[in-house]
Amino acid sequence: METVATARAFGGTQGVYRHASDATGTPMTFSVYVPPHAPGQTLPVVWYLSGLTCTHANVTDKGEYRRACAELGLIFVAPDTSPRGDGVADDPAYDFGQGAGFYVDATEAPWAAHFRMWSYVTEELPALIAAHFPADMARQSIMGHSMGGHGALTIGLTLAERFRAVSAFAPIVAPSRVPWGEKALGGYLGADRAAWRRHDAVALIEDGARVPALLVDQGEADQFLAEQLRPQLLAEACDAAGIELTLRMQPGYDHSYYFIATFMADHLAWHAARLG
């Protein structure tokens, strides 16, 4: 693992790191904030998954999470959204290919060669974090934004025994039913829509996946709300399944990091309360 950069922040260390990934077959870059802590102490880990077009840098530069993480004693990990580089398949559109991995393991050519973000985020990177940082891997939680909100919900629902808390900002809750998701899941996983269900939060809940509670913030002025995000579908699924969903519709807020930064501390406090 290569250290790209480190900086002191709120008594802790913000780092950016790079390593050669077996899962994707490419170099992968990620950021980690480690708050101040006593020697030998291990700390709970919050995973943050970013949205379309983003890298680790978007939340690292604009997410405003470090003060809250320092106060609450949380390690904050932000991976990239896809493999990148020469020889990695891409698409000219912003919502597919590099920058748009959708947190799945692709099965279709040419994507299957490198686009294995599910394995990267759930298996390879956690092992790296456990080996190199003061992480208590028995206390993990996950959150994300937009496409990353989709990833956080699907991973959190699938691996409910691992993640003590799951939350999202403006997530794609039912990708099988919206243009972004239909394009991505069809392209990466093929035409069989039954194979998409394990990467659709609403479908997972309909099929029996359960978590105790979810927290979702959604801006009412979000330009993608009606066509791509459709949080009411998640509300209906949670209501039918008996999952406690806190869905906060925020007047005047859009899809940007101004929105995320405004409510980031709320989410981290919600996670900390469940991480112990």
222 belongs to the catalytic site: yes
What count of other Cβ atoms lies within 10 Å of the Cβ of residue 220? 11
Give how far Cα 56 sits from Cα of 31, 47, 79, 109, 222, Å: 6, 11, 5, 26, 22
Closest Cα to residue 172, out of 117, 240, 226? 226
Among 146, 167, 199, 271, the active-site one is 146
Beta partners for residue 147, in sequence order:
none
Which helix (H) or strand (E) segment holds residue 44: the answer is strand 43-49
Instruction: List Cβ neighbours of 234 (8 Å cut-off, separation of 6 or more).
Output: 153, 171, 173, 174, 201, 202, 205, 214, 216, 245, 247
150 tagged catalytic: no
Considering 105, 200, 217, 222, which one is annotated as catalytic?
A: 222
Q: What CA–CA distance (Å, rounded) separates 19 from 41?
A: 25
Neighbours of 44 (CB within 10 A): 22
* Catalytic entry in 56, 255, 267, 271: 255
Is 61 assigned a catalytic role? no
Residues serving a catalytic function are 146, 222, 255
